[in-house]
Structure 1
Amino acid sequence: MRTQRSHHFLLLSILFFASTFSYLRLVTATGAEPPITGNNDDTEYIRSSCNTTLYPDICYTSLSRYANAVQQNPGQLARIAIAVSFSKVHRTASYLSNLTRVADYSGNSRAALALHDCFSNLDDAVDEIRGSIKQMRQLGAAGSGTDSFLFQMSNVQTWMSAALTDEETCTDGFQDVEDCPMKSDVENRVTKVKKFTSNALALVNGYAKKGMP
């Protein structure tokens, strides 16, 4: 009987992590957004958690559809928020990469230089958020104690903070550039990205304060 219960628990665990992984693949690989799932308690948990962020409406809109994967788990919520942020930053960095090729022939050297710097900053942000995702996957692998958890979470916080700083540096680089369609386009896109990263960092900080994996 004990063996049967163990097998049943193992099966449920596999199904849970497989479900979560499929959600994250949708976010990070395709950018697709699955339909909103989960019961009212699950979605209300996300709404309540999002109220601790600077942009609660964006937070809830982007994360409530993953309520079934989150299951009122702050760690899962932080992981998915990071994955959503990664998707947004990666997509914007790819867009800027293509835009730099056009800007080089625009005749506006100052705007082109700011764009290249911005792309470099976003590219760094992509790497930093990727590092956060990797660290979250390894959470608990180095030990199950509170000290180990806090150390690993401090790495995630550092990387997410660095990513947000890089995104802010990107838009700051356009301050001395004369107004033009490209400047407005880039600033609008990156400003939106910053909100997702800011929200993810806030949820990471909230999870870290709990002091347990």
Structure 2
Amino acid sequence: MRTQRIHLHHLLHSLFLFAAAFSPVATAAYDASAPTPDNGDTEFIRSSCNTTLYPDVCFSSLSRYANAVQQNPGQLARVAIGVSLSKAHRAASYISNLTHDADYGTSGSRAALALHDCFSNLGDAVDEIRGSLKQMRQIGAAGSGAGSFLFQMSNVQTWMSAALTDEETCTDGFQDVAECPVKADVCNRVTNVKKFTSNALALVNSYANKGMP
């Protein structure tokens, strides 16, 4: 139990540091208050989102960034990763609060264990998505050729796939838990996060298939 508490404390500390570092990504870098985007840019996002599993979620979350994206598939993938990172971090922070809630903590040992495991999995997903975003920012740097692009995109695809797997592991952990408020609450929230991660991965794959930065 002491080891588990130390592990949770470490994850909470990491998430706190991440929150401070990440906040400018979703605000300053992609300013939603920018002028009305060009219709062509908006349609580019709509058509790109049609290749994802959740096109409506994709378009509603990314269309506001049309000015920043324009018609650049790499920029669209970066923004999508940034949005999925924000969603995953928010869910991890919410679940970390639940782990300290007395009502949820006493709802049953199986539910409590699933909750703590879920928080750990989401912490891993946050790290993996953050690594993907960092790698995406390095793509197209001076001196990088086609081989470097494919290698970098392979890293991004691997990390985003791992993040999606970690999110799925979180919800899978509740399969044997009896129906209760914490199960419904957490599974609904994380299922929503999975949609953003899945969409981001689809846009990353589409960009990688183009074979050029």
Pick the TM interval, shorter chain: 0.7 to 0.9
Does the CA contact (< 8 Å) of 2:129 and 2:163 recur in 1? Answer: yes
Aligned partner of 1:13 in structure 2 is: none
Q: Are the aligned partners of 2:146 and 2:211 in contact in 1 as well (CA < 8 Å)?
A: yes
Corresponding letter in the other structure for 1:196: F
For 1:101, what is the secondary structure of its paired residue? coil
Q: For residues 35 and 122 of structure 2, what CA distance do their matches in structure 1 show?
A: 29
The ranges of structure 1 where at least 4 consecutive aligned residues each deviate by more than 4 angstroms after the TM superposition are 31-36
Q: CA deviation at 1:65?
A: 0.3
Deviation, 1:34, is 4.3
Distance in 1, matches of 2:208 and 2:84, equals 18
Q: Decide whether the 8 Å contact of 1:81 with 1:199 is kept in 2.
A: yes
Other-structure match for 1:198? 198
Contact 1:85 1:200 in 2 (8 A): yes
Whether the aligned pair in 2 keeps the contact of 1:28 and 1:87 (CA below 8 Å) is: no
**What's the % identity of the aligned pairs?**
77
| 1:125–1:163 contact (8 Å) kept in structure 2 | yes
2:122, 2:116 → 1: CA distance?
Answer: 10
Larger Rg: 1
Structure 2 residue runs of 5 or longer lacking an equivalent are 1-22
Return 5+ residue gaps in structure 1 as ranges.
1-23
1:16 equivalent in structure 2: none
Q: CA separation in 1, counterparts of 2:146 and 2:25?
A: 32
CA spacing shift, 1:112–1:51, aligned 2, 3 Å: same
1:33–1:100 distance in 2 versus 1, CA, 3 Å? farther
1:139 aligned partner: 139
Conservation of the 8 A alpha-carbon contact between 1:96 and 1:115: yes
Answer yes or no: is the 8 Å Cα contact 1:28–1:83 preserved in 2: no
Which residue does 1:99 correspond to in 2?
Answer: 98
Instruction: Decide whether the 8 Å contact of 1:36 with 1:67 is kept in 2.
Output: no
1:102 and 1:44 map into 2 onto residues whose CA distance is 45
2:31, 2:65 within 8 Å by CA — same for their partners in 1? Answer: no
How far has the Cα of 1:143 moved from its partner?
3.6
Q: Determine the structure 1 residue equivalent to 2:36.
A: 37
Q: How far does the alpha carbon of each residue in 1:20-64 deviate from its partner, in whole angstroms, 9 at most, with x for none?
A: xxxx825279x9954783111010000000000000000000000
Amino acid at match of 2:130: R
Number of residues of Structure 1 aligned to a counterpart in Structure 2: 189
Matches within 5 A, 1:58-97: 58-97=57-96
Q: Please say if residues 128 and 160 of structure 1, whose CA atoms lie closer than 8 Å, have aligned partners that are also in contact.
A: yes
Out of 135-144 and 161-170, give the one that drifted further.
Answer: 135-144
